[in-house]
Amino acid sequence: MSRVRYYCAASLDGYIAESDDNLDWLFKYEGSFEGADSEEGQGGYEAFYEGIGALVSGSVTYEFVLEHVDQWPYAGKPTWVLSSRELPKPEGEGVDVRIVNAEVPDLIDELLEAAGDRDLWVVGGGNVASQFADNDLLDTVEVTLVPVVLGEGKPLFDRRLPGGPMQLTGARTYASGMVGLTFDVRRSAR
């Protein structure tokens, strides 16, 4: 069965972007850790992405991606964008972007069906991940901690999650100096 996974990078103090949505703190990060248990340079993105069958994001994350890439990075995987506004769609082979004004519970069956035997990636941001958690639809939180302190910005989640503490299920150090943490979210039965 497909899982709903919130996977992102966060600063050491829990922000996924600066207040103006800037990600230079992440893209320009240079660090190292000689005692790493992973040879991968960053946070294990390639291995994660192989297990993804469909994606969902908010409009701010979507627009950020459109502004900062020349070619749609998720070709071959259907992507839902939660928005009440009309937004441009990228062109290209294998691009499947669906702009929808809908509630997460109303979309979940369609999202999981599209993911097939792989998982659904909640790309961002904190508001979208919070919507999944609020509706008891989030299975895992996978955060790559970047040893940078921002002091303020866009939080990992918009609000306190229901269900109490998460269960740590994995921790990994990367040669970049980043640390990957995986948590299971406490959920009631689907």
How confident is the model at residue 102, as a pLDDT? 96
Q: Report the mean per-residue pLDDT for the chain.
A: 92
How confident is the model at residue 41, as a pLDDT? 52
With 60 as the cut, is the pLDDT of residue 12 above it? Answer: yes
With 60 as the cut, is the pLDDT of residue 103 above it? Answer: yes
Rounded to two decimals, the pTM is 0.92
By CB atoms closer than 10 A (0-12, 13-18, 19+), residue 176 is: buried
Q: How far apart are CA 83 and CA 99, in angstroms?
A: 6
The mean pLDDT value for 30-57 works out to: 83
SS3 59: helix
> 6, 140 in Cβ contact below 8 A?
yes
> 120, 112 in Cβ contact below 8 A?
yes
With 60 as the cut, is the pLDDT of residue 189 above it? Answer: no
Q: Where are the alpha helices (DSSP H) in 73-155?
A: 104-115, 126-134
With 60 as the cut, is the pLDDT of residue 104 above it? Answer: yes
Q: What is the pLDDT of residues 132-159, one digit of tens each?
A: 999 999 999 999 999 999 999 999 999 9
